[in-house]
Amino acid sequence: MEQGAAEPQPDARVWLPAQAAPAAAHGARGGDGGPRLPRQRPRRHSVRGQVLDALRRALTVGELRPGEVYSAPALAERYGVSATPVREAMQQLAGEGAVEVAPNRGFRVRERSPRDLAELAEVRTMLEVPALLRLARAVPPERWEELRPLADDGVAAAARGDRVGYADADHAFHEALISLTGNRRLTEVAGELLRRAQWSAGGGARLRTAELLADASEHTALLDALIAQEHAVAERIARAHLSVARRPH
């Protein structure tokens, strides 16, 4: 995507995904003191997947800032890999709308306007709320109770102030809920929209622990309403939860 290696941004440190943790545990360090990816010569698509996961996390928490340009060689140095899987991950993120190509420089993290956030929230509401209401009339209470551990994971991450952990838990909860429809395409699209909303939130000020907890508690309240078969309450909670994306973070 770029010919030369631009100077790395001073605040462009990105977290490696969980798969890379063993390398850190064995003392493998990157050039900037950060952990490298595993050195067991994994297939290229596996390395690309790990880099993609790390970039997505960095976007979620705002480590990669909207409007800033980052080069593949600079980020590759931090990962301890070649620039090729980083460029491939960038290209996928560009296709998903998270970044855009900056010719001969690298890629620029896209900025989201309040209108972008509102539109994302509106589309998510249009897809997820009707699906939830259909499920509410068909899914027995014990199936909803099976989602309780996912909601609890979100509350625990929020209580720690762990924004990355909460984003993962949030995604897992919504994916599990929508997957009950049995519609794989709907699950994929809903997950993509949630990821874009999380990226959009990542560029602003960090959410306070209290705000994370408030968001996480809505998962628990939603399950309580669904188990009690209080459909109107469940709909109200779901709409309020999805509308959070309308507020600048």
Per-residue pLDDT tens digits of the chain, which is 249 residues long: 444 444 444 333 333 433 333 333 333 334 344 434 444 444 445 888 889 888 988 887 778 888 899 999 999 988 788 899 999 999 989 888 889 999 889 999 988 888 888 899 999 999 999 999 999 999 999 999 999 999 999 999 999 988 888 989 999 999 999 999 999 999 999 998 998 887 765 544 455 788 889 999 999 999 999 999 999 999 999 999 998 544 443
* Global pTM value: 0.71
Task: Give the DSSP H/E element, type plus range, for residue 212.
Answer: helix 209-227
Q: How many Å from the N-terminal Cα to the C-terminal Cα in the chain? A: 31
Q: Enumerate long-range contacts of 29-32, CB under 8 Å, 24 or more apart.
A: 30/77, 30/78, 30/79, 30/80, 31/77, 31/78, 31/80, 32/77, 32/78
Secondary structure of residue 171 in the 3-state scheme: helix
With contact defined as beta carbons under 8 Å apart, do 138 and 221 qualify? no
Q: How many other C-beta atoms lie within 10 A of the C-beta of residue 50?
A: 22
